[in-house]
């Protein structure tokens, strides 16, 4: 048996309030592709950033060829021969193909200036060897398709003679044909004896290209093995893992009258013919992979994007939503996924964040009344058990979980009919997670209608009354959440065929 | 696991008292600077402390400061208007043209202010409707507005404004207190209330801090930005009336370079050039500082170019001082 090229053991990494990686291990073998599999938020990206020297692990060791190494900076990782090809390539759009390939290690003349003719001819030869001779070495990268940009990234990996190549969802935006071309290159890398780490959600790709797999769940390594000895269902079981209902509030759903009716909602590029009815007292979960179009639908319901077709009706009345202000007025509010950018204004105090959409109510004739703002803020933040030193503290100084409480308090203060939560517990600690879940249960018990977008299967299955599964901008299925298996939901979302029972 | 007995933790409204915050604020520091400059001036020149001298000093800054009030709001919201001086030129030219057709004083004032408002609306529409960066738009309209004024006037000037028109830029309300100065103080109070005491002002801050989050919270970002451009244009129109009245004539080069002095005033007043923070009190005190410095130096026969060097140094010093002190404090820790 071959020795691993690179070994990670006991790697841990925490961020304030979040434990991203907990004593994970990973081995990469020369001439083999190892697939890293896990749900969103399982810690895959953190691991990639650790490997490329962007994050420093809190604990654990990394050994390369049996010798312990420290990846103290991106440059160090690069010197040790580790390179990454990302989902959205991080190359330089305004530089030429040859410059992108040789940036940082360009051939030099005797005067230590860049040897341009040599660089260009080297780049041309390299691309030709890869079977990518159709790419002009002098073209600007901006003018290339995403697939060709990936090829340039691979060429760069070959040119620095990287021993370890990390491919982070490289196929996410490629066509079928382009994916095949990329796989030919991966085979090339294998033949060259490179160790490849391949991250993907797509099982057909993993089975097509990988030799080994490692599964992460909630920041822990939960299984590894050889692909050819393991079935899809075994891997899905590892991904989904734990018993899904143990941390979620028990509740007896009392579904009321229809509140929100969406019919044939479509967008030119993001989603197509979405239709569902949301009832009072109901939690409707939206599950799917990142990029399935869930957030885009929610932003259309919130008036941020204009749908090309379809209707949205609240209490039987058709809505025309030109802006979030219209949606809020109608009673639809949205807790966005990007909390720090879209949810809270980090440099303003808590009370100003909470009162922002309610200024008409707290103020009088357009004039502010601070006492009313503080009272409103206190009323809702106390209900959510916010932990803060004072209500005048800037929202950015709070932990992720408490920032989320500020956003939710802001919306509850507007007394909405429908509340849309987009990845409501992403990146927040366990305690706040439980508080948010408990609170969601409380809200629906009071007759509010809730839409929850989540990529965390346990959360979707633990909280929802019904689940909409989305894939590539379309609703695959609307499921009643009883006797559902996690297996089934994941299969629908990733498009893996059903195994005949 | 719902929480039947919610624990009532009492989170206080504030930790620091508002008074303490006010004492440590930027305007307070500026006030100290203003007092120092005032004291230096009164020792440096025997003429400085006479009431009429001080009254004359106010003419140095009131027109620019009136624009600075609106500019402060615009910069806090994350936008900027570099065309304000060109708006003065165009508004003044419009008044001069109207004068040729026999407009009386009320009509002249209305035309001056109206032209300013229209120019502001034009800037605002370009920025908010077409989504262009305001710095580019207003560099463009800066040339456009002043260019129009040059086309109308060439190397000529409009003169012969009616005697009643002279009051706005030359008249006194009471003893040494000029109309311009009273107008500035009145507008300063209005802008103070608008920025610090209304929902509109709160939204301006929110937009400047994070326009995306503002939009996601239901703030009509584009509408508010459009209104701020209109306000800045309106203030430029008012400044055009005051300046034209004070000079008694219109030349296309009128108010050349004022946009930078207005922006300097705003930044010196503690408004972040990146948007999101600042106060009217700071801008008002900064206006006084700039007026006192230029007038004091004028009394000492310091040439204009040296005065602007001094203003530039003052700006850098006042901006750098807190940053440098903060860094020293951190180094010591």
Whether residue A204 is predicted with pLDDT greater than 50 in this model: the reply is yes
Strand-strand pairing, B172-174 and B177-178: antiparallel
Q: Which two tokens stand for residue A248?
A: 């979620």
How much is the average pLDDT of B38-60? 86
B252 located within any domain: yes
| Shortest alpha-carbon distance between residue B138 and chain A (Å) | 27
* Final residue before a domain boundary, out of A243, A266, A296: A243
* 8 Å CB contact between A305 and A267: yes
Q: Please count the other Cβ atoms lying within 10 Å of the Cβ belonging to residue B131.
A: 8
A104 vs B153, more confident: B153
Its domain, for residue A275, covers 246-494
How much is the average pLDDT of B78-89? 97
Burial of A88 (0-12, 13-18, 19+ CB in 10 A): exposed
Region of poorest pLDDT, from A289-303, A351-365, A368-382? A289-303
B80 located within any domain: yes
Strand-strand pairing, A466-471 and A474-480: antiparallel
pLDDT for the residue numbered A243 = 45
B333 located within any domain: no
The domain tally of chain A equals 2
B9 located within any domain: no
Mean pLDDT score across all residues of chain B: 90
Tell whether A256 and A396 lie within a shared domain.
Answer: yes
If we measure between CA atoms, which residue out of A164, A260, A252 comes closest to residue A445? A252
Whether residue B80 is predicted with pLDDT greater than 50 in this model: the reply is yes
Euclidean distance between CA atoms B218 and A358, whole angstroms: 10
Report the range out of A173-182, A480-489, B39-48, B196-205 with the highest average pLDDT.
B196-205
pLDDT for the residue numbered B5 = 37
Tell whether A216 and A350 lie within a shared domain.
Answer: no
* 8 Å CB contact between B206 and A345: yes
Tell whether A419 and A326 lie within a shared domain.
Answer: yes
Whether residue A210 is predicted with pLDDT greater than 70 in this model: the reply is yes
Tell whether A270 and A129 lie within a shared domain.
Answer: no
Q: Which two tokens stand for residue B193?
A: 């209330």
Euclidean distance between CA atoms B251 and B259, whole angstroms: 17
Tell whether A219 and A339 lie within a shared domain.
Answer: no
Q: Please count the other Cβ atoms lying within 10 Å of the Cβ belonging to residue A316.
A: 9
Tell whether A376 and A465 lie within a shared domain.
Answer: yes
| Shortest alpha-carbon distance between residue B4 and chain A (Å) | 11
Whether residue B4 is predicted with pLDDT greater than 50 in this model: the reply is no
B233 located within any domain: yes
Q: E-strand spans in A218-267?
A: 220-226, 258-266
Chain A residues within an 8 Å CB radius of B7? 385
Euclidean distance between CA atoms B123 and B134, whole angstroms: 8
Euclidean distance between CA atoms A286 and A283, whole angstroms: 10
Euclidean distance between CA atoms A309 and A273, whole angstroms: 8
Strand-strand pairing, A59-64 and A6-15: antiparallel
Alpha helices, DSSP H, located in B131-174: 134-153, 167-170
Length of chain A measured in residues? 501
* 8 Å CB contact between B66 and B184: yes
* Final residue before a domain boundary, out of A220, A243, A266: A243
Alpha-carbon A101 to chain mean position: 28
Its domain, for residue B147, covers 50-320
Tell whether A251 and A239 lie within a shared domain.
Answer: no
* 8 Å CB contact between B66 and B243: no
If we measure between CA atoms, which residue out of A1, A378, A157 comes closest to residue B12? A378
- Residue B316 sits in a domain of what CATH number? 1.10.3470
Q: Which two tokens stand for residue A78?
A: 């690069």
Phi, psi of A237 (to 5 degrees): -60, -40
Q: What is the 3-state secondary structure (H, E, C) of B103-127?
A: CCHHHHHHHHHHHHHHHHHHHHHHH
Whether residue B135 is predicted with pLDDT greater than 70 in this model: the reply is yes
Q: How large a percentage of chain A has pLDDT more than 70?
A: 94
Taking the Cβ of residue A324 and every Cβ of chain B, the question of whether any pair is shorter than 8 Å is answered with: yes
**Which residues numbered 401-430 in A keep a CB inside 8 Å of some CB on B?**
410
Region of poorest pLDDT, from A487-496, B89-98, B156-165? A487-496
Give pLDDT tens digits for A70-101: 888 888 888 888 888 876 656 788 899 999 88
Q: Please count the other Cβ atoms lying within 10 Å of the Cβ belonging to residue B118.
A: 18
Tell whether A369 and A488 lie within a shared domain.
Answer: yes
B95 located within any domain: yes
A501 located within any domain: no
Count residue pairs from A and B with Cβ separation < 8 A.
113
Whether residue B10 is predicted with pLDDT greater than 50 in this model: the reply is yes
Whether residue B35 is predicted with pLDDT greater than 80 in this model: the reply is yes
Q: How large a percentage of chain B has pLDDT more than 90?
A: 65
Return the bridge partners of B310, or none: none
Phi, psi of A452 (to 5 degrees): -125, 120
| Residue B222, helix vs strand vs coil | helix
Q: Report ipTM (2 d.p.).
A: 0.87
Q: Do A356 and B218 touch (CB under 8 A)?
A: yes
How much is the average pLDDT of A134-152? 84
How much is the average pLDDT of B123-132? 95
Euclidean distance between CA atoms B87 and B67, whole angstroms: 11
If we measure between CA atoms, which residue out of B211, B229, B208, B231 comes closest to residue B220? B211
A145 located within any domain: yes
Tell whether A262 and A393 lie within a shared domain.
Answer: yes
The band of B1, judged by pLDDT with boundaries at 50, 70 and 90, is: very low
- Residue A136 sits in a domain of what CATH number? 3.40.50.300
Chain B residues within an 8 Å CB radius of A383? 6
Give pLDDT tens digits for A280-335: 999 999 998 777 888 899 999 999 999 999 999 999 999 999 999 999 999 999 99
Tell whether A281 and A407 lie within a shared domain.
Answer: yes
B18 DSSP 8-state letter: H
B212 located within any domain: yes
The band of B161, judged by pLDDT with boundaries at 50, 70 and 90, is: very high
| Shortest alpha-carbon distance between residue A355 and chain B (Å) | 10
B269 located within any domain: yes
Residues 6+ apart with CB under 8 A from A180: none
| Shortest alpha-carbon distance between residue B305 and chain A (Å) | 39
A500 located within any domain: no
If we measure between CA atoms, which residue out of A411, A263, A262 comes closest to residue A331? A411
The domain tally of chain B equals 1
Tell whether A35 and A166 lie within a shared domain.
Answer: yes
Phi-psi group of B234: left, alpha or beta (phi > 0 → left; psi -120 to 50 → alpha; rest → beta): alpha
Task: Please indicate, yes or no, whether the overall pTM of this predicted structure exceeds 0.90.
Answer: no
A499 located within any domain: no
A111 located within any domain: yes
* Final residue before a domain boundary, out of A193, A210, A243: A243
The band of B2, judged by pLDDT with boundaries at 50, 70 and 90, is: very low
Tell whether A312 and A250 lie within a shared domain.
Answer: yes
Chain B residues within an 8 Å CB radius of A327? 218
């Amino acid at each position: 048996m071959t020795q691993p090229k690179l070994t990670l053991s006991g790697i841990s990494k925490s961020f304030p309030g979040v434990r991203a990686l907990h004593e994970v291990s990973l081995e990469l073998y020369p001439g083999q592709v190892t697939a890293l599999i896990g749900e969103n938020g399982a810690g895959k990206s953190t691991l990639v950033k650790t490997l490329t020297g962007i994050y420093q692990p809190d604990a654990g060791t990394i050994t390369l060829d049996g010798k312990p190494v420290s990846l103290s900076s991106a440059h160090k990782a690069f010197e040790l021969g580790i390179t990454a090809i990302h989902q959205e390539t991080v190359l330089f759009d305004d530089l030429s193909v040859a410059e992108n390939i040789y940036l940082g290690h360009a051939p030099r003349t005797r005067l230590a200036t860049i040897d341009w003719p040599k660089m260009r001819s080297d780049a041309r030869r390299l691309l030709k060897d890869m079977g990518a001779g159709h790419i002009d070495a002098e073209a600007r990268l901006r003018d290339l398709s995403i697939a060709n940009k990936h090829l340039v990234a691979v060429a760069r990996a070959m040119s620095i003679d990287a021993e370890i190549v990390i491919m982070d969802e490289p196929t996410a935006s490629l066509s079928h044909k382009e994916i095949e071309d990329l796989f030919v290159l991966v085979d090339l890398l294998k033949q060259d004896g490179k160790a490849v780490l391949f991250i993907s959600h797509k099982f057909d790709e993993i089975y097509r290209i990988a030799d080994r797999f490692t599964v992460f769940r909630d920041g822990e390594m939960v299984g590894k093995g050889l692909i050819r000895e393991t079935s899809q269902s075994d891997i899905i079981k590892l991904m989904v893992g734990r018993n899904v209902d143990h941390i979620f509030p028990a509740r007896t759903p009392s579904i009321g009258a229809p509140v929100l009716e969406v019919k044939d909602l479509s967008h030119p590029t993001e989603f197509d013919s979405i239709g569902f009815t949301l009832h009072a007292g109901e939690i409707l979960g939206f599950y799917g992979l990142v990029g399935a179009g869930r957030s885009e639908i929610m932003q259309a319901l919130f008036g941020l994007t204009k749908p090309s077709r379809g209707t949205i009706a609240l209490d039987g009345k058709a809505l025309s939503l030109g802006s979030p202000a219209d949606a809020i007025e109608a009673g639809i509010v949205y807790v966005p996924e990007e909390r720090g950018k879209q949810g809270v204004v980090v440099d303003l105090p808590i009370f100003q964040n909470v009162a922002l959409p309610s200024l008409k109510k707290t103020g009088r004739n357009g004039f502010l009344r601070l006492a009313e703002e503080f009272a409103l803020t206190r009323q809702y933040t106390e209900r959510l058990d916010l932990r803060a030193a004072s209500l005048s503290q800037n929202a950015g100084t709070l932990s992720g979980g408490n920032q989320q409480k500020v956003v939710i308090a802001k919306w509850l203060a507007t007394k909405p009919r429908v509340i849309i939560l987009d990845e409501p517990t992403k990146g927040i600690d366990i305690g706040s997670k439980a508080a948010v879940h408990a609170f969601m249960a409380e809200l629906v018990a009071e007759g509010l209608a809730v839409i929850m977008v989540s990529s965390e299967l346990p959360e979707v299955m633990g909280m929802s009354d019904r689940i909409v599964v989305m894939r590539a901008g379309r609703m695959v299925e609307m499921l009643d959440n009883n006797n559902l298996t996690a297996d089934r939901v994941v299969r629908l979302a990733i498009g893996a065929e059903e195994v005949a029972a | 696991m719902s929480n039947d007995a919610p624990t009532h933790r009492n989170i206080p409204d504030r930790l620091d008292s508002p008074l303490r915050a006010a004492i440590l604020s930027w305007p307070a520091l500026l006030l100290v600077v203003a007092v120092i400059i005032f004291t230096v001036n009164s020792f440096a020149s025997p003429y400085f402390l006479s009431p009429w001298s001080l009254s004359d000093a106010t003419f140095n800054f009131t027109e620019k400061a009136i624009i600075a009030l609106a500019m402060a709001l615009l910069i806090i919201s994350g936008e900027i208007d570099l065309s304000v001086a060109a708006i003065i030129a165009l508004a003044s030219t419009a008044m001069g043209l109207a004068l040729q057709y026999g407009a009386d004083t009320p009509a002249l004032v209305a035309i001056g202010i109206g032209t300013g408002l229209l120019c502001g609306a034009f800037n605002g529409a370009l920025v908010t409707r077409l989504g262009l960066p305001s710095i580019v738009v207003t560099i463009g309209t800066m040339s456009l507005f002043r260019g129009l004024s040059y086309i109308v006037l060439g190397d000529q000037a409009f003169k012969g404004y009616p005697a009643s028109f002279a009051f706005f830029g030359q008249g006194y309300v009471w003893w040494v207190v000029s109309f311009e100065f009273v107008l500035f103080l009145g507008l300063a109070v209005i802008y103070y209330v608008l920025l610090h005491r209304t929902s509109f002002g709160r939204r301006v801050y929110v937009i400047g801090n994070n326009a995306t989050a503002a939009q996601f919270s239901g703030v009509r970002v584009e509408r508010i930005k459009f209104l701020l451009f209109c306000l800045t244009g309106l203030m430029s129109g008012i400044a055009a009336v005051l300046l034209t009245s004070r000079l008694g004539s219109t030349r296309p080069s009128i108010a050349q370079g004022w946009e930078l002095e207005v922006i300097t005033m705003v930044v010196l007043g503690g408004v972040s050039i990146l948007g999101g923070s600042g106060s009217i009190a700071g801008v008002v005190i900064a206006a006084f500082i700039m007026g006192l410095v230029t007038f004091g130096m004028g009394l000492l026969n310091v040439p204009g170019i040296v005065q602007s060097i001094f203003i530039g140094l003052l700006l850098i010093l006042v901006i750098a001082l807190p940053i440098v002190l903060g860094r020293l404090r951190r180094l010591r820790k």
